[in-house]
Amino acid sequence: MKALLLLVGWCLLFLLCWPLALVALVLFPLVWLISIPLRLIGITFEALFALLRAVLFLPARLLGHGKRLN
């Protein structure tokens, strides 16, 4: 569905302003390639924060905090 909306948006842009649509078509792969390192940095920080959260909450989990006894 996301790809279909992107295609419809590009076709609409092509009808309204075809030079801008062609520039967007050429620059999209370049922007995607530039964003790959930034995505990797984001994944790394997300994993680092998940590890930090797991280490900080480990004592509470070992002591059984959050478990309800019936």
pLDDT by 10-residue block (mean), the chain, 70 residues: 90 91 90 95 97 93 72
What is residue 68's predicted lDDT score, i.e. its pLDDT? 65
Half-sphere exposure of residue 28: CA atoms within 13 angstroms, side-chain side: 10
Are the C-beta atoms of 41 and 48 separated by less than 8 Å? no
Please tell me the distance from the alpha carbon of residue 56 to that of residue 44, in angstroms, as a whole number.
18
What is residue 41's predicted lDDT score, i.e. its pLDDT? 97
Please tell me the distance from the alpha carbon of residue 65 to that of residue 68, in angstroms, as a whole number.
8
What is residue 67's predicted lDDT score, i.e. its pLDDT? 65
Q: How crowded is residue 10: how many other Cβ atoms within 10 Å of its Cβ?
A: 14
Residue 5 CB contacts under 8 Å (≥ 6 apart), including other chains: none
Domain boundaries defined on the chain: 2-62
